[in-house]
Amino acid sequence: MSLTTAALEQLEIAGIKMDRFQELVTRLFAYGIIVRDEDGVEQRFYDDARRIEALLSEYFGMAGFHLHHDIKGEFFRLYAPGAQVPGIIPEDAEPAPSLRARVTPDFVAAALALRFLYQKGLTDGGKDLTDEGEVLIRFDELAATLQTQLRRPLPESVVERDKLLRELKRHRLIRLSPTFSMSDEDALIAIRQTILGIISEDVLAAALEADGGDPLESGSDTTTQEVSQ
């Protein structure tokens, strides 16, 4: 029996067509993550992925990728070969150097700041923790954390700051309300628990303890498991 025939049989049992399977694979390769509560489109992607989770895991596994399903958080994340994620991928796995994604230092810095603020939200008695496992912060808290903990300011222009927020949202690290405005002091940013899957405690500690120079110098070229595509 060919792999295609075996896959078609599993898809038929699940009631999923081949073109939908291809959409799911393309989505995961392109974004690296599917979060159910993002919107209606992503909810349907997530629900269909759950129906054929075993097939997707086997498919990606044959190429050395790892598909992680966080059932509580209701999201799938695709990790590249060699990704070292505590509790998920063995530390002795060999990374695939060709599978690298360029991200800006501003993006890496913001992700590190979000990881710091998420951990702080968990240890501060949970007053800013939502039932969905998100930590709520204000925009000025992000700016202050970047400056005090990482010695790096936000981009100067409003356009660049907005672009950064949109990138963080696209990578499913934050959630913004439709009416969010940086000029609104009461507007909240929800840090998603997905931040835990791309920045480990060791990576955060190394960035915070960097002595001299740019603590993010080595973070602008990162593997796809650390920042989803």
Question: Can you give the pLDDT at residue 199?
Answer: 81
Residue 217 burial class via C-beta count within 10 angstroms: exposed 0-12, middle 13-18, buried 19 and up: exposed
* Tokens matching residue 5: 């025939």
What are the residue boundaries of the structural domains of the chain, listed by start? 3-79, 102-223
Residue 1 is predicted with a pLDDT of: 63
For residues 105 and 227, give the distance between their C-alpha atoms in angstroms, rounded to a whole number: 12
Residue 99 is predicted with a pLDDT of 42
pLDDT of res. 59: 93
What's residue 222's pLDDT? Answer: 40
Q: Please give the pLDDT value at position 225.
A: 41
What is the pLDDT, as a whole number, of residue 191?
A: 95
The pLDDT of residue 207 is 83
- φ/ψ of residue 76, rounded to 5: -110, 140
What's the CATH fold of domain 102-223?
Arc Repressor Mutant, subunit A (1.10.10)
Q: What CA–CA distance (Å, rounded) separates 1 from 119?
A: 49
pLDDT at res. 87:
58
191 three-state secondary structure: strand
Q: At 222, phi and psi to the nearest 5? A: -130, 150
Cβ contacts of 111 within 8 Å, gap of 6 or more:
168, 173, 195, 198, 199, 227
Q: pLDDT means per 10 residues in the chain (229 residues)?
A: 82 94 94 90 96 94 91 90 62 46 82 94 82 91 93 92 93 90 90 86 80 44 39
How far is the C-alpha of 195 from the C-alpha of 55, rounded, in Å? 26
Structure tokens at 177: 């309300």
If one counts every other C-beta atom within 10 angstroms of the C-beta of residue 90, the result is: 10
∠ CA 92-95-97, rounded to 5° = 160
Dist. CA 174–CA 135, nearest whole Å: 9
Question: Would you state the pLDDT for residue 215?
Answer: 46
The answer to whether 162 touches 47, Cβ cutoff 8 Å, is: no
Instruction: State the pLDDT at residue 86.
Output: 55
pLDDT for 201: 80
CA atoms within 13 A on the CB side of 171: 26
Closest CA to 176 of 126, 224, 142, 216: 142
The reported pTM is 0.75
